[in-house]
Structure 1
Amino acid sequence: MKKIFKNFLYQATYQLLLIILPFVTIPIVSNALGVKGIGIYNYVNSIITYFTLVAGLGLANYGIREIASVRENKNLLNKKFSELLQFNIIISLFVTAFFVFFVLVLSRYQVYFLIAGLSIIACVFDISWFFAGIEDFKVVTLSNFAIKLISLFLIVVFVNSTDDLFKYLFIQAASSVISNVLMFLFLKGKVKLVKVTLGEVFSHFKPAVNYFYGNVAITLYTTLSKTFLGLMVSVAIVGLYSNSIQLTSIVVVIITTLDTVLMPRLTYLFESNNFAKMISVIEQTFHVQLFFSIPAMCGLIAINNKLIPWFFGKSFSYLTYTVPALAPLVVIIPLGTSVMRQYLMPKNEFRKFNFSVYVGAIIGVTTNLMLIPIFKIWGAVIASLLAEVAVTYLRLRYLFSETSFTFSKKKIAGYVFSGIVMGVAIYTLTAKMPSVAMTTLIQIILGGIIYCILTLFLRVNPLIQIFKDVFKK
């Protein structure tokens, strides 16, 4: 448990940086680029995502599982790493070549696509799956931490007007390349390249594709909305929708940190036939997750009207309508992600994982096509909610039907009650305060204090027992 807690701290520190940075960069970028600039950025990146998806070919999850399964055997670890690295390089280079051809025949936003295309090259050097597989999160955290800080500095200095969109694209894409290259410096002593055959390299194609199918489906119901909005409505609407989703995503990222840390550990427990311990860990972490996600949802609804004006700028004022509607995703997405990373992936249940995202993709694509032409941004909002609910429902059903896993109704009721009271309290107490950063900070601190006091009073705060376990001699 101590190692898990230590890895969680590394990941949480980095994810905390990912949360803090947007509070600096988003106001700068949103005010500098405006609704249209943000729209073009997200439209271009929505299409770039399809290429990086193919370039990664499922290694983000498959690679972690493969490395975790052989981490105790040095020879097998060297062999597995060599196979996966070469497999990744070949696929990524092939996709990069195809992307160049794609851009040459594309006329709209061609320069932006070429700059953003560096993100595809970054996939060639991505070995984060290896460090996650051996549960060494320190390396990934520190290298990414340094690059993010440098990126922040460059954004603050160089992104000042609508003409700086290409600079923003370059900073973001180049950061991905440099961050991935840096990780190779930390491989010494952990693994080494050994000679493997081409047949052994491509033996990973079929199982990786099984994970890839699911990632394609996820992209269809999470990213396609931006593409459809850009094609059917306008890039300005893409900007509004993207920033609405981004605000919920900021919260989701920190909540799902624990999943990344636990996936290799749960894989190891499953491979060791310690299934009872595996379910016990899952039950504990799910309730910790809900302890954070439920008040996060309530808090987001309560503070968004004070947050959005200073955070995104006056041109994004419409987000005060869309963000509360999307706030439930803060609870829904982490739950579905947790079942996937903590249960389905360690058990190699990619068929069930794929089925859930296939359903989500069908619902997402269908509702987007039907609703966006009529309801525009609200069509995309409804599609996102329906798709994510369907995915999470199916995954939870697998977990309930196959294991002894149960939710504690008492704890969840306590979280919901405390979250609602907290939300009403901070909304009422800060109603007359101005829409500035200090108000948001006061709301967050005040909300945190109220929520912690209420959950302690109701005896549903899980952090007390966790700290006792961590610091127990």
Structure 2
Amino acid sequence: MSNSNKKQCSLGVNAILNGLQSVLNLIFPLITFPYVSRILSVDGMGIYNFSNTYVGYFLLIAGLGITTYAVREGAKFRDNYRKMSDFSSEIFTLNMISTLIAYILLVLSLLIFNALNTYALCILIFSVQILFTTLGTNWLYVIYEDYAYITSRNIAFKIVSVILLFVFVKKPTDYFVYAWITVLASVGSNILNYIHAKSFVNLRFLWRTKWKTHLKPILIIFASAVAVNIYVSSDNTILGLIKGNYEVGIYGVSVKIYTIVASLLTAILTVTIPRLSALYGKKLFDEYHALLNRLMNLLIILAFPAMTGLMMLSKNIVIIIAGEKYIQASTSLAIIAWAILFSLFSWIFSDCVLLPAKREKYLLKNTIITAIFNILINLIFIPLWSYDGAALSTVLAEVMSVTMNAYYGRDILKRTFSNRSILKNIFDSLVGCIVVVIICYVVNSNIDSYIIGLIISVSLAIVAYFSVLLLMKNLAFKEFIRAVSNVLQRRRSRS
């Protein structure tokens, strides 16, 4: 009985800690980004963003899809110290070898491509992360569900990095300092990880290892991870190579703001995935479709206004967060805002439909095709429209992704989309968004202050949008209000 209670308590604590970590991951960029974007030059931000993105490819090579594989397989041995130590050491050894390969490829790329000379020093600074990410063995902490350690460590180093940022980043040329601060936060965290890992297993480098057992499944996972990374990062890389640092700096602002908004929405929806997977796995299809239908309706009433608001208020948001010198990012932000709708639907179709149905091969196929498509249209649009072309490429790539995911899950989704509540929900949300557009346009036309205009527009738009949903008797919104009320009542009764 006591063990059960202890387990339930730890699960509850882990859920709270995970939620806290998600919130902090959103809050810290909101604190640091406005400061950095105002202090550093646009070119400096461009060099920082390009170098960080470029090293990300080699971090991917060093990672080799090991984290996903290690978590999946290691969970089987975590109660057996000897087996877990052997398994962890084998995985760690493979990871160290892939890290060495990543460094060799990175150095060769710097020697071969002269276009990288401008970024070489910043790339080398960021490359320190490659080794220490491997030493950090973060997958070990996921296997043992040591979320208390992960969260406390992340909070501590985030606070330290913010303090260092405000103390040492003072002038437009301090992007190298900013890069070092970013790296030091990661390095410090991973050094502690490596030391603390000894409390779980006897971690060591093996000169003889059963690499053949692990390599095939790892490479399959790696192929999917590469496709995703190319798909996500190609716009930044191609923009830097074709246009330059200034353009990457401008586009980076649009992407950062877009990512923050999209992350807020996905954080709300993520909690449903395990339950959907469990229902599908148990063949409880009626309950699965009922939950999927509720999730889709919630997605609709949140994604439509988020996209519309970001589009209409892009200029206000960019100037308030990044400053006047990034005002050109407002157009690319207005364009990329459309991707919110398509990316969230694509996420629902992949993680809530294809994965529970064990259709990973279709997901890999879709990701590879989308990555290739994204690269091709970036090569066409970026020379024509620079960062606005990169934003448009992202939107079109998300459209392709959601289309293919929907196609391979069409037999499952047919039942959900045949429900008239989805169509009514879309109609209600569109009517509400028309009201949002009118409010934002009128406020921006009559108020010169960007901050006051944003505050008034957002406040009035939220009230007006949800009032429209109430007037149109929107069931999804009523259910959302009822769920929130139930949670608040339970908290009051406990207190």
- TM (normalized to structure 2)? 0.81
Do the aligned partners of residues 145 and 196 (structure 1) sit closer, same or farther apart at CA in structure 2, a change above 3 Å counting? Answer: closer
Counterpart for residue 46 of structure 1:
53
Deviates more, 1:153-162 or 1:371-380: 371-380
- The 3-state SS of whatever aligns with 1:162 is coil
Counterpart for residue 320 of structure 1:
330
Q: Matches of 2:446 and 2:185 in 1, distance apart?
A: 41
* Equivalent position to 1:27, from 27, 31, 34: 34
Contact residue 65 and residue 346 of structure 1 kept, 8 A? no
* Equivalent position to 1:304, from 303, 314, 319: 314
* Equivalent position to 1:432, from 442, 446, 459: 446
> Which residue type is aligned with residue 400 of structure 2?
A
Contact residue 435 and residue 461 of structure 2 kept, 8 A? no
Matched, 1:421 2:435: yes
TM-superposed CA distance for 1:168, in Å, is 0.7
Counterpart for residue 224 of structure 2:
214
Q: Matches of 1:11 and 1:205 in 2, distance apart?
A: 31
Q: Matches of 2:470 and 2:77 in 1, distance apart?
A: 40
TM-superposed CA distance for 1:264, in Å, is 5.7
- The 3-state SS of whatever aligns with 1:460 is helix
Q: Which has the higher contact order (CA 8 A, sep 6+)?
A: 1
Do the aligned partners of residues 138 and 352 (structure 1) sit closer, same or farther apart at CA in structure 2, a change above 3 Å counting? Answer: farther
Query: What stretches of structure 1 of length at least 5 have no aligned partner?
Result: none
Query: What stretches of structure 2 of length at least 5 have no aligned partner?
Result: 1-7
Q: How is 1:334-353 mapped onto 2 (pairs within 5 angstroms)?
A: 334-346=344-356, 348-353=358-363
Deviates more, 1:223-232 or 1:399-408: 399-408
TM-superposed CA distance for 1:124, in Å, is 0.4
Do the aligned partners of residues 403 and 207 (structure 1) sit closer, same or farther apart at CA in structure 2, a change above 3 Å counting? Answer: farther
Q: Matches of 1:71 and 1:412 in 2, distance apart?
A: 47
Q: Matches of 2:187 and 2:125 in 1, distance apart?
A: 12
Q: How is 1:63-462 mapped onto 2 (pairs within 5 angstroms)?
A: 63-66=70-73, 70=76, 83-103=90-110, 107-129=117-139, 131-132=141-142, 137-183=147-193, 192-193=201-202, 200-258=210-268, 261=271, 280-346=290-356, 348-402=358-412, 406-407=416-417, 408-429=422-443, 431-437=445-451, 439-457=453-471, 458-461=474-477, 462=479
Contact residue 33 and residue 165 of structure 1 kept, 8 A? yes
> Which residue type is aligned with residue 50 of structure 2?
Y
Matched, 1:463 2:477: no
Do the aligned partners of residues 369 and 312 (structure 1) sit closer, same or farther apart at CA in structure 2, a change above 3 Å counting? Answer: same
Could you give the per-residue CA deviations for residues 146-179 of structure 1, whole angstroms, max 9, x where no partner exists? Answer: 3222222222222121220101111112222333
- The 3-state SS of whatever aligns with 1:369 is helix
Contact residue 33 and residue 162 of structure 1 kept, 8 A? yes
Q: Matches of 2:149 and 2:292 in 1, distance apart?
A: 25
- The 3-state SS of whatever aligns with 2:410 is helix
Do the aligned partners of residues 423 and 314 (structure 1) sit closer, same or farther apart at CA in structure 2, a change above 3 Å counting? Answer: same
Contact residue 443 and residue 453 of structure 2 kept, 8 A? no
Do the aligned partners of residues 115 and 468 (structure 1) sit closer, same or farther apart at CA in structure 2, a change above 3 Å counting? Answer: same
Do the aligned partners of residues 331 and 136 (structure 1) sit closer, same or farther apart at CA in structure 2, a change above 3 Å counting? Answer: farther
> Which residue type is aligned with residue 295 of structure 1?
P
> Which residue type is aligned with residue 227 of structure 2?
A
Do the aligned partners of residues 79 and 402 (structure 1) sit closer, same or farther apart at CA in structure 2, a change above 3 Å counting? Answer: farther
TM-superposed CA distance for 1:36, in Å, is 0.9
Deviates more, 1:225-234 or 1:396-405: 396-405
Matched, 1:37 2:47: no
Q: Matches of 1:268 and 1:139 in 2, distance apart?
A: 28
Contact residue 370 and residue 397 of structure 2 kept, 8 A? yes
> Which residue type is aligned with residue 50 of structure 1?
Y
Contact residue 344 and residue 353 of structure 1 kept, 8 A? yes
TM-superposed CA distance for 1:7, in Å, is 6.0
Do the aligned partners of residues 277 and 132 (structure 1) sit closer, same or farther apart at CA in structure 2, a change above 3 Å counting? Answer: farther
TM-superposed CA distance for 1:464, in Å, is 3.0
Contact residue 35 and residue 236 of structure 1 kept, 8 A? yes
Q: Which has the larger radius of gyration?
A: 2
Q: Matches of 1:442 and 1:267 in 2, distance apart?
A: 41
- The 3-state SS of whatever aligns with 1:406 is helix
Could you give the per-residue CA deviations for residues 400-426 of structure 1, whole angstroms, max 9, x where no partner exists? Answer: 324665142233333333344234324
* Aligned-residue CA RMSD (Å): 3.7
Q: Matches of 1:444 and 1:139 in 2, distance apart?
A: 38
TM-superposed CA distance for 1:356, in Å, is 0.8
Do the aligned partners of residues 239 and 150 (structure 1) sit closer, same or farther apart at CA in structure 2, a change above 3 Å counting? Answer: same
Question: What percentage of residue pairs aligned between the two structures are identical?
Answer: 26
